[in-house]
């Protein structure tokens, strides 16, 4: 029962962050699954992607109702994102855990620095 409450709380925080910032769910879910629930890194990354899908549906619905989406941008970026997602999903199990951990951490640090500077 305790794990279910923790999972719902992680989901609540993830949904809130995603709703406010329009992204970031994976940044909350992946470390939470790894460090709080001791789920293996590859499985945490794959699980996070699956969680983000329904989260994106509800956020998109609300954003559409508030006329906040530019569908010309959505279509073009989605073409690349679908291709990139396919390639990334195929490669996930081939990437050693230490490389996955370090590259994910460096990406978060890089994005954080860019956001602070800009």
- CA dist., res. 74 & res. 105, Å (int): 27
Residues 22-69 pLDDT 10s: 777 778 899 999 999 999 999 998 999 888 888 888 888 998 999 999
Helix 2-21 and helix 41-65, axial crossing angle in degrees, nearest 10: 50
For 98-110, write each residue's pLDDT tens digit: 999 999 899 989 9
CA distance 76 to 70: 11
**8 Å CB contact between 104 and 30:** yes
Q: Please list the alpha-helical segments (H only) found in the chain.
A: 2-21, 25-31, 41-65, 71-91, 97-117
* pTM of the predicted model over 0.75: no
Is there a contact between 41 and 97 (Cβ–Cβ < 8 Å)? Answer: yes
């Amino acid at each position: 029962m305790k794990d279910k409450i923790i999972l719902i709380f992680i989901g609540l925080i993830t949904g809130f962050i995603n709703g406010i910032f329009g992204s970031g769910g994976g940044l909350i879910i992946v470390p939470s699954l790894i460090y709080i629930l001791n789920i293996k890194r590859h499985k945490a990354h794959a699980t996070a992607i699956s969680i983000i899908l329904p989260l994106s549906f509800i956020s998109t619905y609300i954003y559409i109702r508030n006329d906040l989406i530019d569908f010309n941008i959505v279509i073009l970026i989605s073409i690349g994102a679908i291709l990139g997602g396919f390639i990334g999903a195929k490669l996930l199990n081939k990437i050693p855990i230490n490389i996955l951990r370090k590259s994910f951490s460096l990406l978060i640090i890089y994005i954080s620095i860019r956001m602070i500077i800009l």
